[in-house]
């Protein structure tokens, strides 16, 4: 069956199922207000034990379709209010009206209150529960959700990395409980990439900005991912296992609630996925991860917390053969490679952070953080290959269709590497927030020290039809080589001051945020100032709109990788990359089919100066620190988010982008940047079976238009060849066998299980072979051919999940 026909049938079944589901449900509606009678917006209404829920609008109104002929518990919850539950049992076609009043909570939640009271339209909030259900091949559940957002793109399901509005992977900030986290630096492909730092089982909140973020966040140019881990109140645990690995998490708190602990262990092996690649051999990837977050409350006003992580990623690959068919209808080609040798990599990372948090009341919060990060990485390989490049028979009338009819080239190569990196980053941070009636003031000071020992010894030898490349009549030359021993250290200091205040308006609400960042880096001797401003206006109209505008200066001081050129030489005085950014957007909140929806649009422009050009091969970013460029990125992001099926959230995003740069002195003017992707589309869709929410369906779809590429070791202007578009659909179907509201008799063992579910995932549903990079070979005639490095094919994955 053709992929288009299969997709059409699938969407038709989903639409028919959604219509039928509404007929087997009852309608629940009402309003939620405070104990003072004020309408409450953004109250969460959910069904206990089921994946169904909604939120109230600005008038406190809600509607929710609920299953019939069973006892249901409706949960009303909101930060700062006491949670309330109501039990119902309804019949088909019933229309129930239920109005609720929520009392204010007396629990001290000072830090949360300070963070939530002000409008932040440049940060998107994502419910962490979606990470447990989205089908994903990379085992980075949070990042899998981020990839579905507007302005975010990906072209590699084996990696948790993503590109945002023309920026590369290194331009994204990631925080966990205010601690900046890093990934290994020597990764060359998604095959080597282990687990994402973020453990989805521990997450309590996710906030993301694709640009125009506030001054309180750090110095990078693309995006911010702000993660919070939970401080548990009681015992809970979970476990999951699949063909791609497993995970275990435990959380608990002492009886007096002073001591709380949450921790997790994860194991990942993508051997099952890698066996679908063209490159056949013995894959042995093993990735393990241990994390813990511990908090001790000395009083309601003072607590100490510790975040620790240890990750060990080992990758062993013994290649054997590779057969790749590519080319066009008029010239079908095939490359066959026979291998000897192996690759063996180790990536070990450790992070520890101690935080002292003082919050005497709901207005003031002071935090001191001491953190240390270390990464020890080794990449070693000796791989010899002999390749044959052939043209294939394309005449379907003959019996030899697909057979080789002409040999275009024969050659061999030998790749060698002994690369080691040991890097340590120490930091001391003070952060504070003060919340008054009209103002929210944030400030912070950070001192960071970096120590790096980087040793590179790698070379490539190639020969084609009897002579070495590059050709010399007098000596044998290497195709490329790098042999360096770089040991350097540096420190940097940064500070920020930011204020958000509500400006009185006759009609509507206006929130204004202005801030200033300062950064000094010792090795480059640069002192940088970054002013940033954002405004959000909520007019008092009958239809609910939100408008926002943000902009400012964003800088990115060079860090390890940006200091090196392609031969490994270090340029310690490399200046920071800089950009001016402007983002204008709007949100329209509306009701359709008695369900809430939100349509969001953003228009942005970025001007870059002092850019360090780079080239991308798979997930390896090779900077050209000996060159400089100017550039720009401009685009439009559109998204719609809402209950396409009553009670479950889905969303779709579409983005347009153009980004170019002008490398100084190359004489070639403006050229596309490596992330120049005209069109991207993503979809996350949820549904449940008619009348039975214990059966769920989750679909993630991605499309990304053609990205620039070019030959290895070529100049930047040569990267004008476009890869095929990235197209992928992942489908998951799950069954909740035991849930929190199960009434069937259970044994003593089963009574300890709160939830038990089994899911089947169809990864790469349409079986499309996506291209991530190219292996370049030469013909007898000196022509270069790019042989595609394809990603994974269609695979099935079974996953069992338990919660205690």
The domain limits of the chain are 3-107, 113-231+420-803
Q: Please write the tens of the pLDDT for every residue from 734-772.
A: 988 877 655 555 566 666 788 888 999 999 999 999 999
- Six-digit token string for 718: 């040569």
Of residues 572, 525, 579, the one with CA closest to residue 556: 579
- Six-digit token string for 51: 């994946």
Q: Three-state SS across 629-693?
A: EEEEEEEEEEEEEEEEECCEEEEEEEEEEEEEEEECCCCCCEEECCCCCCEEEEEEEEEEECCEE
Contacts of 9 by beta carbon, 8 Å cutoff, 6+ apart = none
Peptide bond just before 470 cis, omega within 30 deg: yes
Q: According to the model, what pLDDT value does residue 20 have?
A: 45
Q: Which CATH number is associated with domain 3-107?
A: 2.60.40.1120
Q: How far apart are CA 210 and CA 221, in angstroms?
A: 10
Q: How far apart are CA 85 and CA 792, in angstroms?
A: 46
Provide the 3-class DSSP secondary structure of residue 16.
helix
Q: Please write the tens of the pLDDT for every residue from 112-131.
A: 344 444 445 678 888 888 88
Q: How far apart are CA 791 and CA 501, in angstroms?
A: 49
Same fold, 3-107 and 113-231+420-803: no
Q: Please write the tens of the pLDDT for every residue from 491-518.
A: 999 999 999 988 888 888 888 999 999 9
Q: Please write the tens of the pLDDT for every residue from 187-231.
A: 888 888 888 999 999 999 899 999 999 999 989 999 999 999 999
Residues in the chain: 804
Of residues 163, 181, 174, 176, the one with CA closest to residue 224: 174
Half-sphere CA count of 333, side-chain side, radius 13 A:
17
- Six-digit token string for 131: 């990470």
Handedness of CA 504, 507, 509, 511 (dihedral sign): negative
Q: According to the model, what pLDDT value does residue 11 have?
A: 47
Q: How far apart are CA 803 and CA 754, in angstroms?
A: 5
Q: Residues of the chain whose pLDDT is less than 50? A: 1, 3-4, 6-11, 13-23, 107-119
| Under 8 Å between Cβ of 62 and 44 | no
Q: How far apart are CA 356 and CA 300, in angstroms?
A: 13
- Largest distance between two CA atoms of the chain: 91
- Adjacent-strand bridge partners of 240: 247, 801
* Burial annotation 233-259 (CB, 10 A radius, 16+ → b, else e): eeebbbbbebbbbbbbbbbebeeeeee
The domain defined by 113-231+420-803 folds into Maltoporin; Chain A (2.40.170)
| Under 8 Å between Cβ of 183 and 159 | no
């Amino acid at each position: 069956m053709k992929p288009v026909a299969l997709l059409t049938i699938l969407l038709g079944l989903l639409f028919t199922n959604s219509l039928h589901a509404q007929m087997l449900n009852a309608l629940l509606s009402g309003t939620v207000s405070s104990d003072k009678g004020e309408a409450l917006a953004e109250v969460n209404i959910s069904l206990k034990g089921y994946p169904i829920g909604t939120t109230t609008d600005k008038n406190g109104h809600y509607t929710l379709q609920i299953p019939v002929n069973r006892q249901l518990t409706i949960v009303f919850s909101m930060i700062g209010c006491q949670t309330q539950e109501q039990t119902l049992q309804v019949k088909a076609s019933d229309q129930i009206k239920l109005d609720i009043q929520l009392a204010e909570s007396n629990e001290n939640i000072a830090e949360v209150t300070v963070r939530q009271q002000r409008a932040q339209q440049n940060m998107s909030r994502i419910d962490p529960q979606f990470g447990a259900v989205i089908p994903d091949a990379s085992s980075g559940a949070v990042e899998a959700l981020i990839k579905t957002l507007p302005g975010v793109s990906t072209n590699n399901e084996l990696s948790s990395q993503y590109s945002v509005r023309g920026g590369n992977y290194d331009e994204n900030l990631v925080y966990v409980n205010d601690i900046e986290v890093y990934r290994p630096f020597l990764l060359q492909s998604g095959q080597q990439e282990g687990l994402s730092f973020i453990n989805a089982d521990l997450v309590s909140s996710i906030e993301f900005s694709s640009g125009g973020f506030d001054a309180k966040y750090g110095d990078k140019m693309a995006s911010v991912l702000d993660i919070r881990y939970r401080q548990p109140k009681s015992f809970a645990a979970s476990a999951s296992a699949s063909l791609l690995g497993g995970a275990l998490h435990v959380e608990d708190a002492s009886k007096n609630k002073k001591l709380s602990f949450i921790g997790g262990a994860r194991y990942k092996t993508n051997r099952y996925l890698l066996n679908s690649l063209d490159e056949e051999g013995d894959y042995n990837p093993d990735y393990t991860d241990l994390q813990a977050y511990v908090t001790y409350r000395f009083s309601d006003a003072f607590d100490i917390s510790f975040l620790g992580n240890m990750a060990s990623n080992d990758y062993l690959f013994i290649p054997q053969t590779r057969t790749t068919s590519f080319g066009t209808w008029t010239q079908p080609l095939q490359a066959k490679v026979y291998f000897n040798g192996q690759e063996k990599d180790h990536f070990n990372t450790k992070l520890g952070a101690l935080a002292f948090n003082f919050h005497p009341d709901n207005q003031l919060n002071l935090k001191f953080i001491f953190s240390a990060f270390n990464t020890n990485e080794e990449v070693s390989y000796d791989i010899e290959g002999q390749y044959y490049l052939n043209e294939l028979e394309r005449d379907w009338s003959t019996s030899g269709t697909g057979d080789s009819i002409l040999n275009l080239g024969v050659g061999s190569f030998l790749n060698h590497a002994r690369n080691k990196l040991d890097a340590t980053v120490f930091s001391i941070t003070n952060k504070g927030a003060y919340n008054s009636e009209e103002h929210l003031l944030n400030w912070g000071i950070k001192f960071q020290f970096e120590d790096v020992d980087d040793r590179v010894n790698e070379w490539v030898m190639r020969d084609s039809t009897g002579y070495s490349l590059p050709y010399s009549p007098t000596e044998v030359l290497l195709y490329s080589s790098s042999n360096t021993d770089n040991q350097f250290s540096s420190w940097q200091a940064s500070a920020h001051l930011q204020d958000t205040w509500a400006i009185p308006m006759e009609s509507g609400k206006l929130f204004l945020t202005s801030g200033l960042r300062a950064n000094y880096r010792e090795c480059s001797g640069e002192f940088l100032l970054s002013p940033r401003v954002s405004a959000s206006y909520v007019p008092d109209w009958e239809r609910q709109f939100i408008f926002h505008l943000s902009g400012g200066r964003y800088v990115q001081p060079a860090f390890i990788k940006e200091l090196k050129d392609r031969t490994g030489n270090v340029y310690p005085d490399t200046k920071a990359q800089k950009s001016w950014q402007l983002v204008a957007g709007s949100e329209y909140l509306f009701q359709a089919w008695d369900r809430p929806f939100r349509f969001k649009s953003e228009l942005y422009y970025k001007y870059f100066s002092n850019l360090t050009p780079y080239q991308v091969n798979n997930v390896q970013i090779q900077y050209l620190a000996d060159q400089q460029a100017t550039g720009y990125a401009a685009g439009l992001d559109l998204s719609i988010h809402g209950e396409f099926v009553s009670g479950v959230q889905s969303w779709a995003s579409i983005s347009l982008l153009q980004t170019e740069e002008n490398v100084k002195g190359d004489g070639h003017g403006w050229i596309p940047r490596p992330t120049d992707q005209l069109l991207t589309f993503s979809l996350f869709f949820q549904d449940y079976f008619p009348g039975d929410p214990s059966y769920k369906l989750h679909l993630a779809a991605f499309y990304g238009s053609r990205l620039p590429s070019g030959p290895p070791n070529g100049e930047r202007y040569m990267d004008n060849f476009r890869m095929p578009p990235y197209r992928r659909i992942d489908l998951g179907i799950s069954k909740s066998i035991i849930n929190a509201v199960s009434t069937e008799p259970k044994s003593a063992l089963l009574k300890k299980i709160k939830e038990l579910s089994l899911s089947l995932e169809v990864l790469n549903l349409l079986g499309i072979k996506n291209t991530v990079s190219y292996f370049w070979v030469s013909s007898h005639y000196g022509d270069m051919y790019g042989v595609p490095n394809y990603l994974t094919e269609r695979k099935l994955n079974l996953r069992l999940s338990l919660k205690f």
